[in-house]
Amino acid sequence: MTKRDVLNAIKEVAMQDVDGMFNDEVSAQDVIAFVDTSIEQLDNKAAKAKERAAKAKAEGDEIRSKVAAVLTDEYQTIADITAQVDVEDITPAKVSARLTQLIKLGEAHKTKVKTADGRTVNGYAAGPDTDSDAE
């Protein structure tokens, strides 16, 4: 049961006796007005949340397109890609998240690569993974 459901139930009860009083100070019309205002506030809050989500999605799409633009046929580490992406406050975590999105979309693929210091890390390249698409 949501807050909206509870408010609508309260409004229904108040509407059964619109001219009545709940107590000495609160009339049924006051309750109905309060419920209508509360529901309107819920609607406004939901609309603002959608706006924020759309803004965050657009920002994420912008970063994703910039990460995709940096990818080449050569495998690169997240650190290398992060250094090339020209976005304010970019972090390896943000780059990693966008790379995961690109992989799911089939616009990039990854494999294990050895770094100059001998560590094995994920390397990312543009395009779909041709090794797993064997027909």
Predicted local distance difference test score (pLDDT) of residue 28: 86
pLDDT reading at 133 higher than 70: no
How far is residue 110's CA from residue 129's CA, in Å, rounded to a whole number?
A: 8
The pLDDT confidence band at residue 80, using thresholds 50, 70 and 90, is: very high
How far is residue 103's CA from residue 110's CA, in Å, rounded to a whole number?
A: 8
Return the structure tokens found at 132: 């797993």
SS3 120: strand
How far is residue 27's CA from residue 110's CA, in Å, rounded to a whole number?
A: 66
- Prediction pTM value: 0.58
Percent over 90 (pLDDT), the chain = 59
pLDDT reading at 64 higher than 50: yes
The single residue listed with the structure tokens 């799911």 is 104
